[in-house]
Amino acid sequence: MNYIPLAIPNMSEAEATNLQKCIDDNFVSSVGQFVTSFESEVAALSGNQHGVAMGSGTQALHMALHCLGIGAGDLVILPSFTFIASANAISHTGAKPWLFDIEPTSWTIDVDQISEALEQKCRRSAGGNLELIETGERVAAIMPVYTLGTPANMDQLRRLSETYNIPIVADAAAAIGVAYRGQPIGALADLTCYSFNGNKTITCGGGGLVSGDNVALMERIKHVSSTARVTKNYDHDQVGYNYRMTNLQAAVGAAQLGRLQDFLKTKRRIRARYDAAFSAIDNVSIFPSPEDRGSTNWFSGLVLESAASLNPGDLCEALGRMNIEARPFWKPVHLQQPYQDAPTESQDYTESIWHRIVTLPCSTDLTVEDQDRVIEAVKTILSTS
Ligand SMILES: *Cc1c(COP(=O)(O)O)cnc(C)c1O
């Protein structure tokens, strides 16, 4: 039986044609027509005026924070339940993540918990900054993560951001093409960051992008991520970064963008079929689908309740023996070795859920037959264990 991978890229003639064009034109590096068009197309999809493409989603988050002036002595509010890259991008600026729990209904950051913490644990400094009373660290930004491509509770979060005057940098790594109350997501945050890593819905091989509307800020992001060069004569005005996406990556991304709506449809179908198959099984629950927002359904899978007869590791191993790739999901940041010292709010829900999640094959070329094989395999393993 064929091997069914978890989430792999979906390449076609269109990507090959674009890559060949780069070779023919000799535009393979960080300047080129594909970079420019990729930036404006992703920004438009995001509902923003400007986009700056990067080598990875981590770099996009890092540049967004860095160019908002965030650095040592600052805290950035982040859900602990995220891929470690969100926290790493904060650390790269010199700041620290302040870790919050997630809501059960969406697996996105618990805005009530933030509201309470800001009220009870923070004060305004003489200079006007919002700071954590205990340490004097500045609360410099909020980074909601659009888990599985589902936006956070942005109505409530934006009210908080306005009340306290702290910017929002959205980790929308897996949320390309999603709508929130019928609108694109770019207006929900000061800056919105995407990833085009190999396992995302569309990929550039690797890549990222910062999207936003503030022209001066977006120009700064472009400048700082392109070595902060002022003139062609090796003149630079600050410590810059060499983070820009290459034309080769953008060539792949441009072709992928043309296929995005098809991919999103497939992701929706995959998610719906798993949900239908697993919602009636004892001790198994499905991923959340908040009714008030859309999702790109980046990953699909199931949650094993504590009463289930086997644990996620055993299920993944058993599927592996049947030539099906399945994996646990993110280990929360507060449980990761490099973040032992990060300030952390109570993580009741995160700690109850993260180790029970199993992600299942959800590549955009997954056939209905292969998905049925995955579903039957899961059912067989669960019923015989
Ligand atoms: C993929 C991902 C990232 C990092 O993107 P890279 O392109 O791999 O650097 C950050 N945050 C989340 C939530 C992700 O899923």
Task: Give 208-244 pLDDT, tens digit per residue.
Answer: 999 999 999 999 999 999 999 998 899 999 999 999 9
CA–CA distance, 154 with 152 (Å, rounded to integer)? 5
User: What residues contact 200, with CB distance under 8 A and at least 6 apart?
Assistant: 57, 173, 174, 176, 298
pLDDT computed for residue 307 by the predictor: 83
User: What residues contact 237, with CB distance under 8 A and at least 6 apart?
Assistant: 228, 230
CA–CA distance, 358 with 262 (Å, rounded to integer)? 25
CA 381, distance to chain mean position in Å, is 31
CA–CA distance, 176 with 184 (Å, rounded to integer)? 9
CA–CA distance, 44 with 52 (Å, rounded to integer)? 12
Whether residue 55 has its Cβ less than 6 Å from ligand 1: no
Ligand 1, atom 2, lies closest to the CA of 173
The reported pTM is 0.98
Whether residue 144 has its Cβ less than 6 Å from ligand 1: no
State pLDDT tens for residues 274-323: 999 999 899 999 999 999 999 999 999 999 998 888 999 999 999 999 99
pLDDT computed for residue 308 by the predictor: 83
pLDDT computed for residue 374 by the predictor: 98
User: Is 276 buried (19+), middle (13-18) or exposed (0-12) by CB count in 10 A?
Assistant: exposed
CA–CA distance, 178 with 150 (Å, rounded to integer)? 8
Query: Which one of 185, 197, 327 would you pick to mutate in the ligand 1 pocket, going by the greatest count of ligand atoms within 8 A of its CB?
Result: 197
Whether residue 171 has its Cβ less than 6 Å from ligand 1: yes
CA 228, distance to chain mean position in Å, is 27
pLDDT computed for residue 306 by the predictor: 85
State pLDDT tens for residues 33-47: 999 999 999 999 999
Ligand 1 centroid – CA 61 distance (Å)? 9
Ligand 1 centroid – CA 151 distance (Å)? 15
In this structure, what DSSP letter does residue 12 have? -
User: What residues contact 321, with CB distance under 8 A and at least 6 apart?
Assistant: none
| Average of per-residue pLDDT across 28-32 | 90
129 phi and psi angles, rounded to 5 deg:
-80, 150
In percent, the amount of the chain with pLDDT more than 70 equals: 100
236 phi and psi angles, rounded to 5 deg:
-130, 140
pLDDT computed for residue 223 by the predictor: 98
Ligand 1 centroid – CA 136 distance (Å)? 30
Whether residue 208 has its Cβ less than 6 Å from ligand 1: yes
Residue 217: its H or E element: helix 215-225
Do the Cβ atoms of 52 and 210 come closer than 8 Å?
yes
- The residues pairing with 97 across neighbouring beta strands, listed in sequence order, are 76
Query: Quick one: which atom of ligand 1 is closest to the CA of 85?
Result: 10
Ligand 1 centroid – CA 339 distance (Å)? 17
Max distance between CA atoms of the chain, in angstroms, equals: 70
User: What residues contact 376, with CB distance under 8 A and at least 6 apart?
Assistant: none
CA–CA distance, 270 with 267 (Å, rounded to integer)? 5
Q: Which tokens belong to 200? A: 């995302």
- What is the full DSSP assignment across 17-43? HHHHHHHHHT--SS-SHHHHHHHHHHH
Residue closest to 194 by CA, chosen among 242, 151, 161, 139 = 151
| Average of per-residue pLDDT across 81-104 | 98
pLDDT computed for residue 66 by the predictor: 98
